[in-house]
Amino acid sequence: MTVKLTPRLKENLNKMGISELTDILSYYPYRYEVIEYIPYKDWKIDDKIIIEATIIDKPKINYYRRNQSVLYLNVVNEDDYFRVTIFNRHWLMNLEINKKITIIGTYEGNNKILASNINTQPLAEQIGIKPYYSLNKGIRENTFLRLVEQVIEKYENKIVDFIPETIRKENNYLSKKEAIKQIHRPDTQKSLFNAINTLKYEEFLKFNLIMAKRKSDAFIEDLNFIKEFDMDKIIEFISSLPFKLTDDQSKALDEILSDLKQGKQMTRLLQGDVGCGKTIVAFIAMYATVLAGKQAAIMAPTEILAKQHFNNMQKYFADYNVEIGILYSSQNLQERKETLEKIKNKEISLIVGTHSLFQEGVEFNKLGLVVTDEQHRFGVKQRQSFLLKGDYVDMLLMSATPIPRTLATTLYGDLDVTTISQTPYSNKKIHTVLIKQNSFISKIKEIEDLLDQKNQMYVVCPAIEKGSENVRNVNDIFVNLKKHYQGRYSVGLLHGQLDNEQKQIVEKQFLNGAIDILVCTTVIEVGIDVKNANIMVIYDANRFGLSQLHQLRGRIGRGKKEGYCFLLTSSKEDEVIEKLNVIVNNNDGFIISHYDLKLRGPGDILGYRQSGLPAFVLGNIIKDSEILNKSYNDAKKIIKDLINYPLIDEYLKQSENEGVLIS
Residues forming the site for ligand ADP (CB under 6 A): 243-246, 249, 272, 274-280, 400, 424, 527, 529, 558
Supply the minimum distance, in Å, between the C-beta of residue 526 and Mg ion: 7
Q: Which stretch binds Mg ion (CB under 5 A): 123-131, 211-219, 527-535, 596-604?
A: 527-535
277 interacts with, out of ligand ADP, Mg ion, none, CB within 5 to 8 A per kind: ligand ADP
Supply the minimum distance, in Å, between the C-beta of residue 397 and ligand ADP: 13
Supply the minimum distance, in Å, between the C-beta of residue 584 and Mg ion: 23
Q: Which of the 8 DSSP states describes residue 217?
A: H
Supply the minimum distance, in Å, between the C-beta of residue 650 and Mg ion: 45
Q: Which stretch binds Mg ion (CB under 5 A): 311-319, 456-464, 481-489, 526-534?
A: 526-534
554 is a site residue for Mg ion (CB under 5 A): no
* Cα separation, 528 vs 507, whole angstroms: 10
User: Among residues 111 and 422, whose Cβ is nearest to ligand ADP?
Assistant: 422
3-state secondary structure 351-400: EEECHHHHCCCCCCCCEEEEEECCHHHCCHHHHHHHHCCCCCCEEEEEEC
Judged by CB under 5 A, the chain residues 77 through 136 that form the site for Mg ion are none
Q: Rounded to 5 degrees, what are φ and ψ at 106? A: -120, 135
Judged by CB under 5 A, the chain residues 183 through 242 that form the site for Mg ion are none
Supply the minimum distance, in Å, between the C-beta of residue 590 and ligand ADP: 13
191 interacts with, out of Mg ion, ligand ADP, none, CB within 5 to 8 A per kind: none
589 is a site residue for Mg ion (CB under 5 A): no
246 interacts with, out of Mg ion, ligand ADP, none, CB within 5 to 8 A per kind: ligand ADP
Alpha-helical segments (H) within 50-140: none
User: Among residues 394 and 525, whose Cβ is nearest to ligand ADP?
Assistant: 525
Q: Which stretch binds Mg ion (CB under 5 A): 6-14, 176-184, 519-527, 633-641?
A: 519-527
User: Among residues 246 and 410, whose Cβ is nearest to ligand ADP?
Assistant: 246
Query: Cα–Cα distances in Å, from 331 out to 297, 335, 355, 530, 633?
Result: 17, 7, 13, 23, 47
The H or E element that residue 163 is part of is none
Supply the minimum distance, in Å, between the C-beta of residue 171 and Mg ion: 41
630 interacts with, out of ligand ADP, Mg ion, none, CB within 5 to 8 A per kind: none
* Cα separation, 651 vs 660, whole angstroms: 11
Query: Site mask, Mg ion, residues 476-515, x = CB under 5 A?
Result: ----------------------------------------
Q: Which stretch binds Mg ion (CB under 5 A): 224-232, 245-253, 288-296, 520-528?
A: 520-528
User: Among residues 203 and 303, whose Cβ is nearest to ligand ADP?
Assistant: 303
User: Among residues 545 and 603, whose Cβ is nearest to ligand ADP?
Assistant: 545
User: Among residues 348 and 400, whose Cβ is nearest to ligand ADP?
Assistant: 400
The H or E element that residue 186 is part of is none
Q: Apex CA 607: angle with CA 604 and CA 610, to 5°?
A: 90
* Cα separation, 368 vs 394, whole angstroms: 6
* Cα separation, 599 vs 629, whole angstroms: 21
301 is a site residue for Mg ion (CB under 5 A): no
527 is a site residue for Mg ion (CB under 5 A): yes
Q: How far does CA 496 lie from the centroid of its chain?
A: 26
User: Among residues 373 and 540, whose Cβ is nearest to Mg ion?
Assistant: 373
Identity of residue 172: N
272 interacts with, out of ligand ADP, Mg ion, none, CB within 5 to 8 A per kind: ligand ADP
* Cα separation, 35 vs 47, whole angstroms: 10
Pairing of strands 295-299, 324-327: unpaired
Give the relative orientation of helices 546-553 and 589-600 as an angle to the nearest 10 degrees.
Answer: 150
243 interacts with, out of Mg ion, ligand ADP, none, CB within 5 to 8 A per kind: ligand ADP
Dihedral sign (CA 626, 630, 633, 636): negative
* Cα separation, 559 vs 532, whole angstroms: 7
The H or E element that residue 239 is part of is helix 231-239
The H or E element that residue 614 is part of is none
User: Among residues 462 and 527, whose Cβ is nearest to Mg ion?
Assistant: 527
* Cα separation, 73 vs 81, whole angstroms: 11
User: Among residues 164 and 402, whose Cβ is nearest to ligand ADP?
Assistant: 402
Q: Which stretch binds Mg ion (CB under 5 A): 107-115, 525-533, 563-571, 592-600?
A: 525-533
Residue nearest to ligand ADP (CB): 277
User: Among residues 527 and 607, whose Cβ is nearest to Mg ion?
Assistant: 527
- Contacts of residue 529, Cβ cutoff 8 Å, sequence gap at least 6: 308, 555, 558
- Rounded to 10 degrees, the C-alpha dihedral 635/641/646/648 comes to 10
Q: Count the site residues for Mg ion by CB under 5 A.
A: 1
Q: Is 450 helix (H, G, I), strand (E, B) or coil?
A: helix
Supply the minimum distance, in Å, between the C-beta of residue 241 and ligand ADP: 8
User: Among residues 400 and 474, whose Cβ is nearest to ligand ADP?
Assistant: 400
Q: Rounded to 5 degrees, what are φ and ψ at 152? A: -60, -45
User: Among residues 246 and 521, whose Cβ is nearest to ligand ADP?
Assistant: 246
558 interacts with, out of Mg ion, ligand ADP, none, CB within 5 to 8 A per kind: ligand ADP
Q: Is 484 helix (H, G, I), strand (E, B) or coil?
A: helix
323 interacts with, out of Mg ion, ligand ADP, none, CB within 5 to 8 A per kind: none
Supply the minimum distance, in Å, between the C-beta of residue 280 and ligand ADP: 5
User: Among residues 5 and 241, whose Cβ is nearest to ligand ADP?
Assistant: 241
**Closest Cα to residue 74, out of 94, 60, 88, 62?**
60
* Cα separation, 221 vs 503, whole angstroms: 47
276 interacts with, out of Mg ion, ligand ADP, none, CB within 5 to 8 A per kind: ligand ADP
Q: Apex CA 562: angle with CA 557 and CA 565, to 5°?
A: 70
Q: How far does CA 528 lie from the centroid of its chain?
A: 24
Residues lying near Mg ion in the complex (CB under 5 A) are found at: 527
